Amino acid sequence: MPIATVNPATGETLKTYDALGEEEIERRLATAEATFDTYRTTPYAERKRLLHRAADLLEADAQDIGRTMTVEMGKPVKQARAEAAKCAKAMRWYADHAEELLADEEPAKADVEDSGASRVLVRYRPLGPVLAVMPWNFPLWQVIRFAAPALMAGNVGLLKHASNVPQTALYLEDLFRRAGYPEGCFQTLLVGSGAIEDILRDPRIKAATLTGSEPAGRAVASVAGDEIKKTVLELGGSDPFVVMPSADIEQAARTAVTARVQNNGQSCIAAKRFIVHTDVFDAFAERFTENMRALTVGDPLDEGTDVGPVATEQGRDDLVELVDDAVESGATVLCGGELPDGDGWYYPPTVLADITPEMRIHHEETFGPVATLYRAADLDEAVAIANDSPFGLSSNVWTRDEAETDRFVRDLEAGGVFFNGMTASHPAYPFGGTKRSGYGRELSGHGIREFCNITTVWHGA
């Protein structure tokens, strides 16, 4: 895949970039290693000042970088500006909380005495240069939620971003440079996916984080495993959105639309499978379909647009294949499902019912504005359908029944359970999945400690 900005609303190639050569990659790796040797001892107060400065700059740039993201990957521009604001919020959160999150821990006095020590503490020390392999769907947020905690922990970062968002990738390097970070603290590597293995195998790279597809995660994890390097993987998701009889159906149906089509439906944590109790199925299906049909599809730079194009031509082709396969196998199209004429990689908001396990769409992730509807006879069947997926990123449940709440928390195979609302990430809460959705956690204290050397410090009596 070429490193290029291709406007998904028109299909026009706007700008292309040459991949970095071996000499430049070597220079950047050497710079990262040298910078880490000094940056790792930078006091928290200085790290905090730098990250706050970067957040201020990002906030000031929101209008321009929002437009850049929209042109590169097609998200509605109002959502792009919101993404920039969310990133600034997370940067400030980590700037203000990192020292506390990474403070030395002292075990219980009885355990210290039992070990024959006079004092024991646990210290969190940075690992070194961390390679981040990031996707195009949230081209700022995916990077910042790695970079902010990594930099506050004393690590340095090297970003291999998706090849279709090079301008956003270069902006991120420039952002940290303008904020005053030493050269080498955060570098963008404009390289193709074929260069990742050699970079990851380089002994100067101490760990890696990847957000992306299952095949990409498998490839990076295999190399890192061979080199015995720490990885955090956030992969695909096919999140269930369960609606039980006690739910507020009107609110659930409204929220379901946002949960499905946010970011043009291209979000790992978007609700994708809507599992509705039979007692309220018809009412929910009617309202949900009406709301999906009413969305405005169009130019993502238009402030009134709800849904823009799919980010890549291949992505839209994959979506068409999944929908066509489902329809040919008996799925009912409640709205959408037809490829529009005209330029760009648009696909209409689509709702499919009568889904069966034989259909590809039942097991594969739909990365676009396509929802699947399931009817469940009771709670047990709802849980069974929800768990009948190779993925386990997050989940949404609508119920006012406390006993049902306990059951869903106990039984849903997911990294998060969100009740009476849609899944969203927040810097204070851990984020990640189970099964083929990956492992490890981002955000919160759990996320900042992923790339730390958790060190036991023992003093004899």
Q: Among all residues, which ones are annotated catalytic?
A: 234, 268
CB 101 within 8 A of CB 449: yes
Q: Which of 261, 327, 315 is nearest to 289 (CA)?
A: 261
In which region does residue 336 sit, left (phi positive, over 0), alpha (psi from -120 to 50) or beta (all else)? left
Q: How far apart are CA 325 and CA 360, in angstroms?
A: 7
For helices 141-153 and 166-178, give the axis angle rounded to 10 degrees: 30
Strands 207-211 and 230-234: parallel
Helix (H) or strand (E) holding 334: strand 332-335
The maximal CA–CA distance of the chain, rounded, in angstroms, is 78
First to last CA, the chain: 61
Q: Which SS3 state, helix, strand or coil, does residue 40 take?
A: coil
Q: Which parts of 199-279 are beta strand (E)?
A: 207-211, 230-234, 239-243, 271-277
Residue pair 192/162 in contact (Cβ under 8 Å)? The answer is no
Instruction: Say if CB 159 and CB 173 are below 8 A apart.
Output: yes
3-state SS string over 319-333?
A: HHHHHHHHHHCCCEE
Closest CA to 272 of 349, 357, 379, 380: 349
Give the three-state DSSP class for 7. strand
SS3 5: strand
Q: Which residue has the tokens 């659930």?
A: 252
Q: Cβ atoms within 10 A of the Cβ of 426, count? A: 13
Backbone angles phi, psi at 376, to 5 degrees: -120, 135
DSSP H or E stretch at residue 231: strand 230-234
* CA dist list (Å): 65 to 162, 267, 328, 383: 16, 20, 42, 41
* H or E element in which residue 241 lies: strand 239-243
Sheet holding 396-398, edge to edge: 332-335, 350-353, 370-376, 271-277, 239-243, 396-398, 418-419
- Token pair recorded at residue 307: 């849904």
